[in-house]
Structure 1
Amino acid sequence: MAAPADRVADAWRMLADLGVTITDLRDDLRARHPMPTVKEYLPVVAAAAGPGARRTYGNYWTRMGAMWGDRRLDEVTATDIETLRHETAESAVSRRNSRHGRHAGEHVIAAARAFYNL
């Protein structure tokens, strides 16, 4: 539900009178509630996940930590995850019944979803 236009206009005027910008508000929010890095959050995810999820996704979470460990959770983009998917599919072990890494790539997407859901 959107706020009424007159209330939004009043809020903008009040911010302008105070000399506060959107950047100031964003920076203050980040300072009050710092976003953890991927490396900091991995143990939380592993602890919250069940044994099956840890067994299935653990290797992919480790790769995520190696690639993006020092980045905040909100700095990892969909393109980053897609790049990891491609790299994982290309490096998958080729066997007689291989699907050329397709399932490994799908597991990367599922692991990323599980990581952010947890």
Structure 2
Amino acid sequence: MSKNILKLVGSKIRDLRKAKGLSQEQLGEIAGFHFSYIGGIERAEKNISLLNLAKIADALDSEIYELFAYTHSVKISNHSSSKEEEINKILELLSSKNENDIRKARIIIKEVFKQD
């Protein structure tokens, strides 16, 4: 079984936690877990149960489905890690924005590169 789903959900939890301005310890307190458990989830070291996932979603004031609404990491090629890192940085910036802001960013990028 691939650990990819654990990495994606863990990354989404981390993104939402940071967007709320919470530390792992604060999220753990709210959700009723030790901060090391939260860290283990974010690092894909823990295979979290659905019940615990629901507790974390509640603590983040999110719906459980939002924890699965992640942006896949972009894999360009094995030889372009800096390009991949830059694209993923852009995706991270956009992931916390609303739909209108994302649309504006797309329009700006299209204009800068004159592409459809």
TM range (shorter): under 0.3
Question: Structure 1 length as normaliser, TM-score?
Answer: 0.27
User: More helix per residue: 1 or 2?
Assistant: 1
Question: Structure 2 length as normaliser, TM-score?
Answer: 0.27
**Greater Rg, structure 1 or structure 2?**
1
